[in-house]
Chains A and B, each alone.
Chain A
C-alpha cells in the first residue's frame, strides 16, 4: 500500500484532457473585486466597484496612495484622474452633466489652473486659465 501511495504521488497519471485544460488559460473569469499585489504583498491595483456600485480601477504607489484612477462617478459620468502623492487630483479627464460634456482639468494644490472642454446647451468649446492668485483668464468660449 505504501509503495502504491508513493507511486501514485510521484507519477503523473492525469488524463490528457485534464492536462490540456490546466495548461490553457481560462476563457472568462468573473469576480466582484480583483486585487493585484506586488512581490511583497503590497496592493498595487484594485479593479472593482465603488460604494455607489460604479466600476473603477485604482492604481497605488509605493506608499499605498491612489495615484491613478479611472471609472464612473455616482452620476454615471466617466473619469480618469491623476493624483499627487497626497491623493489630491492634479489632472482630471472626464465627462460632465447630463450631456456628458468632455472636460480636461489641470490642478495645482487642489485648485483648478487650466480647464478646457465643451460647455453649455450648444456644447461649445472653451479654454480658461487661472493664475496663482485665482484670476480667471478666458482664452476662448465660456466656462
Chain B
C-alpha cells in the first residue's frame, strides 16, 4: 500500500473509533431506558416524573426522618402486602394476602394486640370482621364459615369470656369444625 493510502486508512480507522467513542458518550449521557432507573434519576432532578410503569421488589415511602412509613412488597409468607406505620411504630395499617391466599385488612396498635381485622376465613372463604382487645377476641361479625348458605352472624364475648350470639352462629373453634 502506498504511504498516502496508509494515511487515509489510518484517518478512516481513527474517525470510526472517534465516532464510536462519541456515540458511547452520548449513550451514557442519555436518560437510562429502564422505567425504574429513569424514574429515580429524573425524580432527583425535577421532583416529578411520570413513568409508564415501575417494576420493583419493594417500595418504601419515607417520612421526613427518612424512615419507612409505607412499604409495599412481599411478606415473610412470600405474599404481597402493604404496611403503614407511624414514626414511633405504635400504630399500623396492613393489607395484603396471607400465605394461604386469604386477603386481609388490619387496623391496629403497633404490637397488634388491639385491632380490627377484616379478612376471609374458613373452607368457604367467608368474609369476617374481628375486633380484638389486648390479644383477646371480643367481637366477630361476618358470614357463616360452616353452613353452605353462609348466613350472617354477630357474636360478642363478655369480659369473663361468656359468648353472646346476637345474630346467627359463629364457629370459634380454631379448626372451624363445629358440632351443632
Contacts and interface: CB of A to CB of B under 8 A. Distances in A.
Contacts, number: 215
A1 B82 CA distance: 53
B62 A5 contact: no
A8 B131 contact: no
A127 B166 contact: yes
Interface in B132-163: 132-134, 138-139, 141, 154, 156-159
B9 interface: no
Given A25-B55, A30-B60, A30-B62, A125 B131 contact: yes
Interface residues of B, number: 72
A108 interface: no
B158 A95 contact: no
A63 interface: no
Contact of B114 (A47, A80, A99, A125): A99
Contact of A29 (B36, B86, B116, B118): B36
Nearest to B117: A102
A57 B70 contact: yes
Nearest to B90: A76
Interface of B: 15-24, 26-27, 32-34, 36-37, 39-40, 43, 48, 50, 54-64, 68-70, 72, 82, 84-88, 90-93, 95, 105, 107-109, 114-118, 129, 131-134, 138-139, 141, 154, 156-159, 164, 166
